[in-house]
Amino acid sequence: MPGPRILVLDDQDAGKIAEAVIAGCPDAIVDAPDIEALMNRLDAFFKVVRAYANGTGAAPDDVNAAAFDDYDIIIVDNNLSGATSTGPRLTAEGVAGNLRAFFETPYVISLNKNPSVDFDLRHQIGDHETKADLALNEPHLRNKRLWHVGEQPSDDNSADPFAPWYWPALRDVADRRRAQIAFVDAKMDDPILTALKFPASALDLIPGRAIAYLSPQEERDGNPTFWQHFKTSNRSLIADDRARIVFPDKDEAEIKTLFKDLEQSPTEPSIRRIISRVVAAEIDHWIRRDILGLQDVLMDAPHLQMRVGFRSAANEPSLEELDATAQNPNEPFGLEAEFYNAVASQHRFESDCWLPRDGAFWWSEIENDKAYSEMVSRPRSVGAVFCEDVRAFKNVQDSPDIGKFVPEGGKPWLPRFVSQLTGFNYSPRSLLFG
């Protein structure tokens, strides 16, 4: 299977970024245009964007569209000032939303937006303000664990011990995003929480900010559709741009009212495709930050293991056994087989394409499960915690440098842990305690 196809957009040294990608993912196919070719690509980009802004609703020609299609990932350096001679400074944030909307490449990475941040303590997502799908720094691209599911450091490989658990496996992100796009297209007029099969027990536990993200017009117990989200969000595209996408051939004075009053999603395939790309990226961000990111309502395997804290054996599980929950991409995801089969598998999140990696579980359903209640008296492992920055369990007594933190929106009684490796920036440090 060939590696991911990647386009690098950088006006200073695209070759250096390409080298970093190859170091992390040797079989990646990287296109890193020089400055002249980059300016030609950006010219094609602006022609496509202006075509929609001017109401033609289509790229002027196939060549322009092809400049950013046929890739899996586009990596955009945050400073592209050398690629434009007039107008405001061009940044990754200035192009990410339109790249996603008007071109087929599914995943966009912003590079070097916050070079002083390696680990995001606040949101467990990297940078919640980026309009790209992920914000990284150039050195991160060299990390093999950024690219591969289950990649672990050892004596005989060059994998870096530092690898935030919230990083997705970049080899997988394009396929997951394409599945997300198809999901949104098929269910565009369905309520989001219903389509994602949120159980009733989880609905009251969802943070208010999570519903506000889906639609600021919804009540606390709201359940907007994917189409309603597109209409009311301005995360990666402003409202006027969204209206113009839906009504490319209407007069400027009409489109705002027409857009507001359109209750059902458009049927034109090309318009639905744009909407699906935009919404898929925004819902992916929402799940990673506000749902799975808190590891409270929805938990992945290592956090579930830390929460239930038991095995059937009389002895506590070894660290290697615990680490399997962060390494095994297949059922039972490193969890005890009996617990997985009797409890966890019954309450698994069903649409894995929306997760950074397969395997997440509804905690609110598990703790109310009679089969789980019958297990809680069994031996519990209490001495180890999962360290988010190295994707591994560590014994608290043996690791005095372990730090605790509570991400924004998290519960004080459910702290998260980091081993605090030297040479990496954890931000904001004010959140660390213990």
In the block, which residue shows the tokens 């080298």? 19
**Cβ–Cβ < 8 Å for 130, 110:** yes
State both tokens at 178: 């394409």
Going along the chain from its start, the domains and CATH numbers come out as: 5-166 (3.40.50), 175-286 (no CATH), 295-380 (no CATH)
The model's pLDDT over 73-86, given as tens digits with 9 standing for 90+, comes to 999 998 887 776 55
The mean pLDDT of the chain is 89
Q: Answer yes or no: pTM beyond 0.75.
A: yes
Q: Stretch 223-243: mean pLDDT, rounded?
A: 93
pLDDT given for residue 159 in this prediction: 63
Angle between helices 269-286 and 239-246 (to 10 degrees): 150
pLDDT classification of 399: cutoffs 50, 70, 90: confident
State both tokens at 382: 């209490």
pLDDT given for residue 358 in this prediction: 95
pLDDT given for residue 151 in this prediction: 75
Percent of the chain with pLDDT over 90: 66
The model's pLDDT over 329-373, given as tens digits with 9 standing for 90+, comes to 999 999 999 899 999 999 999 999 999 999 999 999 999 999 998
**Number of helices and strands (H, E) in the chain?**
18, 13
pLDDT given for residue 386 in this prediction: 96
Q: Is the pLDDT of residue 207 over 60?
A: yes
pLDDT classification of 264: cutoffs 50, 70, 90: very high
Higher pLDDT, 375 or 429: 429
Q: Is the pLDDT of residue 18 over 70?
A: yes
pLDDT given for residue 63 in this prediction: 58
Q: Is the pLDDT of residue 209 over 90?
A: no
35, with CB counted inside 10 A (0-12, 13-18, 19+), is middle
- Rounded CA gap, 65 and 45, in Å? 8
pLDDT given for residue 354 in this prediction: 97
32, with CB counted inside 10 A (0-12, 13-18, 19+), is buried
